[in-house]
Chain A
Amino acid sequence: MVHQLLLVSKIPHKNYIQTVSTLQALTGITSPQTISTYTLVTKPHNEFRPKAEAGKVNQIEQYYMKCITTWSDAASANLDISQPILKHDNDSILVDRLFMGDDNDRHWTLQISDIPVAGKNQTCSAQTIYESTLVHHHTKVKDQEKIADEKDSTKVEDAEDVMEVDDKSFIEKNSSSSKKKDSFLQFLEDLGYDVINQYWLSGIRFFHNDIIIEIFKILIRDDETSVSNDKIKLKLLDDSNEFQVRAYINVPKSTDVELINQGAKDLSKFQDFLKNLIQLEIPDRMYMDSRVMSR
């Protein structure tokens, strides 16, 4: 659980170099961390409507959940965000289909966040986020008969560190499962969550004392132009090529008032410091509401 103090902004593409150089000078980080993630936005499948009764806890909510993993294929490595991403460009961004890939271990971070706290005269948005990262074995779901046939190979899978796998069974496994539904999606479905959208996020990250500054672009699936092979074509969520900027501080506990106040103060100082470069502002909490509105 983290308590996140957040300010947001955006910068036009042409200000990117200037902003990055300024932040490099300010933070002393000459090569900022790159961010490259893939996120699934999911929503509970079934509505849950408990009967509101007196004397019982009636604040039962359902939340959207974000499932975040790394985006690490050739496309992400080749993507240079300092160059504008154009709609009618020949070398478009083609990402691997994640659930067809062969990499086995995937770290999925499941994230559920509360609506930011309300209040007047706030200096920044404050929100509690619950995260849990699980190492997911990216195994494929198999046909019933195949499972019976491949008892041996499943054994190998269980004891992965042994790694005495003969090539034959591996090939068999891959070929048999490539068309099947991936188990993480299956897992989400079993959990009762529907995937409603997905996005790829690419950007850079700076650190200034406790403040984390992220500059990024969001990419979404481009369905208009279909690509024949196993790739997915991406396009920008925001055609104007503008970068989104987030400056935030993560406080470990939402009850640590002293740290939160200090953090808010630091953020507002930072906001004032950069006011001629980036207009950092408080995001509207209603836009960050991830509760499912059933009532």
Chain B
Amino acid sequence: MNINNNANSGLSKADTSQIPVDYLEEIRNRLNQVHLSLRRLADQISHNRQINKSKIPNYSHIQNQLQVLLTQLHSISNNLDNNGNILKNSNVYPLPNFPTTQQEGLLTTLLRKKPLPEVEQWIQEAIDLGKSDCYSIEKEDELTRWIMAKVEELREEFQFYGFESIEELNYLETEEGQKEQEEKKTEEQKVKQEELRITDGGKQGLHPNTVLKFMYRGILT
């Protein structure tokens, strides 16, 4: 591309040493990447839709793609911020050996300083949305904070011990409850007794290996 950034348009011989070419080049690369990521995301969604109408791509896939996109955008905006002055003060012009007549369409696009009308419209829409109340980030944060505080507050009103509710505990205090408790205990005791009787006093069973040895060689040890 035969486009030259010039920090000082007054000089006839361009002094390119002041221009952070690397950074500017990086912006271009990043933009390219964002373009690719966006297209991939769009492909993913539309492709899946064609094959199986009800199925959208995996949630984590979209999330990952979005994360990548966000990082790229972040790095671009950082780059733009850092080099804002240079970009603002730079004039861009084609060098004499650029094929101006053949590439007129491309040239007008490249030299464009203002956004396209539709892009301008998008920007305006975004700004309007940001201004309106329903999308205010601050308000949302505020709501989240309020919910957190409320939950904390509500939780402090309760105390959790054991597995019984207060009604159940109160019931246990009464005579009936105590009787029931007693019955439960004796029942448990009974089961335990039976268990002990069956296992000959809670003996541990022989390991299958030991039994196998007995079956193969007639001895236990």
With A238-B205, A240-B203 known as contacts, the answer to whether A14 contacts B212 (CB < 8 A) is no
Question: A10 within 8 Å of B by Cβ?
Answer: yes
Closest residue of B by beta carbon distance from A41: B218
- In the assembly, what is the distance between CA of A39 and CA of B217, in Å? 12
Tell me whether B217 and A238 are in contact (CB under 8 A).
Answer: no
List B residues 182-221 near A (Cβ within 8 Å).
Answer: 195, 197-200, 203-220
With both chains docked as a complex, state the minimum distance between the C-beta of A246 and any C-beta of chain B, in angstroms: 8
Which chain B positions have C-beta within 8 A of A239? 199-200, 203
Tell me whether B210 and A287 are in contact (CB under 8 A).
Answer: yes
How many residues of chain A are within 8 Å of chain B by beta carbon?
34
Residue in B200, B207, B216, B219 whose CB lies within 8 Å of A10: B207
Question: A113 within 8 Å of B by Cβ?
Answer: yes
Question: A269 within 8 Å of B by Cβ?
Answer: no
What 1/0 mask marks residues of chain B from 162 to 190 whose CB sits below 8 Å from any chain A CB? 00000000000000000000000000000
Which chain A positions have C-beta within 8 A of B214? 197, 199, 218, 237
- In the assembly, what is the distance between CA of A21 and CA of B176, in Å? 37
Closest residue of B by beta carbon distance from A216: B211
Residue in B209, B215, B218 whose CB lies within 8 Å of A284: B209
Tell me whether B208 and A218 are in contact (CB under 8 A).
Answer: no
- Mostly helix, strand, loop or mixed at chain B's interface? helix
- In the assembly, what is the distance between CA of A242 and CA of B203, in Å? 10
Tell me whether B217 and A290 are in contact (CB under 8 A).
Answer: yes
List A residues 96-132 near B (Cβ within 8 Å).
Answer: 113
- In the assembly, what is the distance between CA of A191 and CA of B220, in Å? 26
Residue in B197, B200, B211 whose CB lies within 8 Å of A218: B211
Residue in B200, B211, B212, B219 whose CB lies within 8 Å of A241: B200
Question: A55 within 8 Å of B by Cβ?
Answer: no
Tell me whether B205 and A287 are in contact (CB under 8 A).
Answer: no
Tell me whether B206 and A237 are in contact (CB under 8 A).
Answer: yes
Closest residue of B by beta carbon distance from A40: B218
- Give 18 new A-B contacts, CB below 8 A, not counting A41-B216, A240-B203, A290-B216: A9-B208, A10-B205, A10-B206, A13-B199, A41-B217, A41-B218, A64-B218, A113-B216, A197-B214, A218-B215, A237-B220, A238-B211, A239-B200, A239-B203, A240-B206, A287-B210, A288-B216, A289-B216
